[in-house]
């Protein structure tokens, strides 16, 4: 369960409100999963709502940056992070099994991924966005506002939160890679088993056909 604190305030009213709402949705889904108080349809609907709200939030952030004419260097990087995140979320979103254990595991993984990604993104990229928008409102040019924050330093407590988030994201990604390797290995074994069971006559027929074709070409 995520607990909101002032550490995550960007001081942009709309952005902070949407961040809080996102974490509330994540906490609600997480709590329902732990209490085993959720059906397949509920999980599916909750995930769709969560992803839809997240997509709208990211779009609103980008519109805000464009309206404020934030430096293109930051906007490009910020958009890349958003697009990468949405791609990864899309990999979680397709729940096709009615197996309760698989649904629960997939929903739990999605909650973890979005939570840790938001923590890292808010404390890093969003805070840089906020600082630049504040400086632009104060009269700086977008370029000056960006350049001023090149050597921006983050306090140790925030660094620890970001480090914890990125470590958990890495561990989860590593686990998904391990699961993928297991599936690939199982598939290879299945293919080898099918090939070994192939009748010799079928193989001979294939060889004869190849010889006939070779003769015809000559």
pLDDT tens, position by position, 34-60: 877 667 777 778 888 888 999 999 999
CATH number of the structural domain spanning residue 111: 1.20.120.50
Does any domain span residue 78? yes
| Residue with the larger pLDDT of the pair 10 and 198 | 10
Does any domain span residue 175? yes
pLDDT attached to residue 113: 92
Q: Do 131 and 83 share a structural domain? A: yes
Q: Do 108 and 139 share a structural domain? A: yes
| Residue with the larger pLDDT of the pair 24 and 46 | 24
Does any domain span residue 1? no
List, for residues 125-170, the tens digit of each pLDDT value. 999 999 999 999 999 999 999 999 887 788 888 889 989 998 888 8
Domain termination residue (choose one: 119, 152, 185): 152
Q: Do 214 and 175 share a structural domain? A: yes
Domain termination residue (choose one: 152, 171, 187): 152
Alpha carbon of residue 143 to chain centroid: 30
pLDDT attached to residue 179: 64
| 28-37, 124-133, 200-209: least confident range | 200-209
Q: Do 174 and 146 share a structural domain? A: no
Q: Is the pTM of this model over 0.85?
A: no
Q: Do 169 and 145 share a structural domain? A: no
Q: Do 70 and 53 share a structural domain? A: yes
Mean pLDDT value across residues 189-214: 60
List, for residues 70-113, the tens digit of each pLDDT value. 999 999 999 999 999 998 888 776 654 555 566 777 888 889 99
Q: Do 119 and 85 share a structural domain? A: yes
Q: Do 173 and 147 share a structural domain? A: no
Q: Do 179 and 99 share a structural domain? A: no
Number of domains, the chain:
2
Does any domain span residue 215? yes
Q: Do 88 and 31 share a structural domain? A: yes
Q: Would you state the torsion angle of the CA atoms of residues 109, 9, 67, 85, taken in this order, to the nearest 10 degrees? A: -10
pLDDT attached to residue 213: 43
- Decide if pLDDT at 202 tops 90: no
| Residue with the larger pLDDT of the pair 66 and 157 | 66
Does any domain span residue 90? yes
Q: Do 166 and 146 share a structural domain? A: no
Which domain, by its residues, includes 54?
A: 6-152
pLDDT attached to residue 187: 74
Does any domain span residue 176? yes
Q: Do 35 and 105 share a structural domain? A: yes
pLDDT attached to residue 46: 83
């Amino acid at each position: 369960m995520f607990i909101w604190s002032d550490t995550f305030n960007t001081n942009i009213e709309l952005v902070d409100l949407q961040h809080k709402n996102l974490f509330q949705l994540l906490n609600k889904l997480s709590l329902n999963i732990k209490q085993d108080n959720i059906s397949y349809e509920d999980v599916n609907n909750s995930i769709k709502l969560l992803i839809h709200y997240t997509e709208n939030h990211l779009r609103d952030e980008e519109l805000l940056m464009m309206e404020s004419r934030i430096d293109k260097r930051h906007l490009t990087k910020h958009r890349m992070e958003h697009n990468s995140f949405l791609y990864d979320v899309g990999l979680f979103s397709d729940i096709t099994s009615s197996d309760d254990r698989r649904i629960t595991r997939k929903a739990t993984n999605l909650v973890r991924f979005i939570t840790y990604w938001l923590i890292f993104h808010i404390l890093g990229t969003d805070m840089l966005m906020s600082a630049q928008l504040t400086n632009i409102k104060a009269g700086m040019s977008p370029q000056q506002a960006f350049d001023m924050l090149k050597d921006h330093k983050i306090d140790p407590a925030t660094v620890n939160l970001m480090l914890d988030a990125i470590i958990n994201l890495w561990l989860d990604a590593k686990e998904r890679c391990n699961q993928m390797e297991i599936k690939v290995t199982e598939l290879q074994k299945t293919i080898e088993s099918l090939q070994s069971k192939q009748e010799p006559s079928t193989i001979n027929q294939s060889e004869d056909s190849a010889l006939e074709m070779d003769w015809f070409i000559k």
